[in-house]
Structure 1
Amino acid sequence: MFKLYDISSVIRPQMQVWKDLEHNRPVFETVRSHDSGETHETRISLDAHTGTHLDAPLHMLPGGEKIEAIPLGDLIGPARVLDLTGAEDGITRQDLEPFAIQPGEWILLKTKNSYTDEWRDDFIYVKQDGAEYLAGLGIKGVGVDGLGIERSQEGYPTHRTLMRSGVLILEGLRLKEVSGGSYFFVLAPLKLEGIEAAPARAFLMGS
Structure 2
Amino acid sequence: MGRIIDISMTIEEGMQVWKNYAHKKPSITNVQNHDEGKPHESLLSLNVHTGTHVDAPLHMIAGGDTIETVTLEQLNGAARVLDLTHLKDHISKEDLVPFAIQRGERILFKTSSSLTEEFDLEFPYLRADGAEYLADIGVSIVGTDALGIERAQPEYPTHRTLMRNGIVIVEGLRLKHVEAGNYTLILAPLKLTGIDAAPARAFLIGD
Q: Provide the residue aligned with 2:89 in structure 1.
A: 89
Count residues in correspondence: 207
Look up the match of 2:65: 65
Deviation at 1:138, TM superposition (A): 1.4
Residues 163-174 of structure 1 aligned to structure 2 (within 5 Å): 163-174=163-174
SS at match of 1:136: helix
User: How many Å separate the matches in 2 of 1:22 and 1:157?
Assistant: 27
Once residues 185 and 105 of structure 1 are traced to their aligned partners in structure 2, the CA distance between those partners, rounded to angstroms, is: 11
Offset at residue 31 of structure 1 (A): 0.2
| Partner SS for 2:137 | coil
CA deviation map 1:41-72 (0-9, x unaligned): 00110001000000000111111110011111
Q: Residue 112 of structure 1: CA displacement? A: 0.7
Q: Please give the alpha-carbon distance, in whole angstroms, between the structure 2 residues aligned to 1:153 and 1:94.
A: 18
> Structure 2: where are the runs of 5+ without partners?
none
Q: Give the 4+ runs in structure 1 shifted more than 6 A.
A: none
Backbone CA RMSD of aligned residues: 0.8
Are the counterparts in 2 of residues 112 and 124 from structure 1 also a CA contact under 8 Å? yes
The 8 Å contact of residues 127 and 150 in structure 1, kept in 2 or not, is answered as: yes
CA contact (8 A) 1:58 1:64 kept: yes
Partner of residue 127, structure 2: 127
The normalised TM-score by structure 1 is 0.98
Q: SS state of the match for residue 185, structure 1?
A: strand
The whole-number CA distance in structure 2 between the counterparts of 1:66 and 1:40 is 34
1:164 Cα deviation (Å)?
0.7
Unaligned stretches of 5+ in structure 1? none
CA contact (8 A) 1:77 1:105 kept: no
Q: Which residue of 2 aligns with 1:78?
A: 78
Identity across matched positions, percent: 57
Number of the residue aligned with 1:144: 144
**Which residue of structure 1 lines up, in the alignment, with residue 203 of structure 2?**
203
Counterpart of 1:193 in structure 2 is: 193
- Structure 1 residues 141-150 or 1-10, which shifts more? 1-10
Matching residue's letter, 2:159: H
Give the C-alpha shift of residue 161 in structure 1. Answer: 0.6
